[in-house]
Amino acid sequence: MPKSSADEKILSYNDVVLRQSDLTILNGPYYLNDRIIEFYFSYLSSSHPSEHILLVPPSITFWIMNCPDISSLNDFLQPLNLPSKQLIIFPVNNNDDVTAVEGGSHWSLLAFEKATNVFVHHDSYGGMNKNDAKRLYRTLVPYTGGSGSRYVECESSPQQVTGYDCGLYVLAIAKEICDWFDGNSTKNEDLWFAKVEERVTPERVSGLRVEILELITSLRGRK
């Protein structure tokens, strides 16, 4: 049977394949799926080519959070070489059903900054994913190469004004954190908070849908 138009492959970028259904999500006021977040994280990785930065795909984060055999995590995480990274960014989803990989109803972001040995959670909907982020944090601490890591809930994190833009806030905040990391030779306790608070506004987040669509069009034109 021929593939439906929704399944039509639009772009293959690094290890991510985008389909027509993903463009439909970006064009409308819809909740972002795993593929769009993985694509933009892959793009940020290419834009910030540093061995010190790691943006973890949603599928990997999901498995870390929900791995049924915790003893197997070490082998699973070893290729990521987490202890060597200075900045690690994870997209957090509140889905805990391993049979529904694309489940869940909210995205947030957990970032680890090694110089200050802190995990920071950014949630655009009043801390809805706080418990999920803390569960991820507790799982990761033994694998990030440092003891005594702290968890911080960023109280100044920008808040969404719609019920469907949480994934866009994750992407916008991830971009600002990466820009902050590249632009600061001296890291301090203030981290990226002020930069995120200033630059991640509802207007900029809303415009990110168009920016990503234009980026996809541009990348397609290079093929």
Catalytic residue among 22, 34, 123, 132: 123
Distances (CA, A) of 60 to 14, 71, 75, 169: 16, 16, 13, 20
Catalytic residue among 22, 106, 121, 165: 106
Catalytic residue among 22, 165, 166, 178: 166
* Degrees, nearest 5: CA angle 167-172-105: 10
Question: What is d(CA 79, CA 74) in angstroms, rounded to the nearest whole number?
Answer: 9
Mark whether 132 is an active-site residue. Answer: no
Distances (CA, A) of 120 to 29, 38, 135, 148, 160: 28, 20, 13, 14, 18
Mark whether 123 is an active-site residue. Answer: yes
The Cβ of residue 141 has, within 10 Å, a number of other Cβ atoms equal to: 17
Burial of 6 (0-12, 13-18, 19+ CB in 10 A): exposed
**Which residues have a catalytic role annotated?**
106, 123, 166
